[in-house]
Amino acid sequence: MQTEQIDQRRSPRVEFFLVPEEHEQLPVWVIKPEGLANARGGVVVNLSEAGLQILASAEPPLDAQHYELRLLLGEDEGVPLFSADVRRVWSRPLSQLVQLSGFEFTTPNSEAEEFLQAQTAQITARKWVRCVLVERMTSLS
């Protein structure tokens, strides 16, 4: 008889992956806050008027369509988590370890979108913003 294991870690869950960048692999750690251990960690690597691109671990693949994007701006619980509703438009593998996905904002001018627009130059300079993607269940109407 198999019993369900309960995750009782005291430390935040960490996701690690290597980001392919020209001729090197850059290590990335995403420390997920308590309560978001099941969310998918990633980094915002590109931002446009229509949406954004996020790198995440290739396994398991991102296959849901709707997510809540929450930006991780620090390890302190007092740091606000800017969020936005996003829709996954496409995904493709960059390597065996990493996938790149394109998302569009479903609600314009969210706190997360406004914060990222102010950080565009830093994102371009590889000072990426870490995030988590929380899968959203859509209702059938």
Evaluate whether 15 touches 30 at the Cβ level (below 8 Å). Answer: yes
- List per-residue pLDDT tens for the chain, 141 residues long: 444 455 555 545 788 877 777 788 888 888 888 788 889 999 998 888 879 999 999 888 899 999 999 998 876 655 667 899 999 999 999 888 899 999 999 988 898 998 888 887 776 666 778 999 999 876 554
Domain count within the chain = 1
Asked, for residue 40, whether it belongs to a domain, the answer is yes
pLDDT given for residue 6 in this prediction = 53
Tell me whether residue 6 is in a domain.
no
Residue 131 lies in a domain: yes
Residue 79 in domain = yes
Closest C-alpha among 131, 130, 136 to residue 65: 136
Instruction: Look at residue 78 and tell me if it is in a domain.
Output: yes
CA nearest to 116, candidates 32, 36, 67, 46: 46
Residue 94 belongs to a domain? yes
In the structure encoding, which two tokens stand for residue 126, read together? 């590889």
Contacts of 85 (CB under 8 A, 6+ apart): 66, 67, 68, 69, 105, 106, 107, 110, 136
Output b/e per residue, 93-127; b: 16+ Cβ within 10 A. Answer: eeeeebbbbbbebeeeebebbeebeebeeebeeee
8 lies in some domain? no
In the numeric block, which tokens belong to residue 14?
């960490």
pLDDT tens track for 84-109: 999 999 999 988 889 999 999 998 88
Residue 7 inside a domain? The answer is: no
Give the CATH number of the domain where residue 84 resides.
2.40.10
pTM: 0.81
Range of the structural domain that residue 105 is part of: 13-135
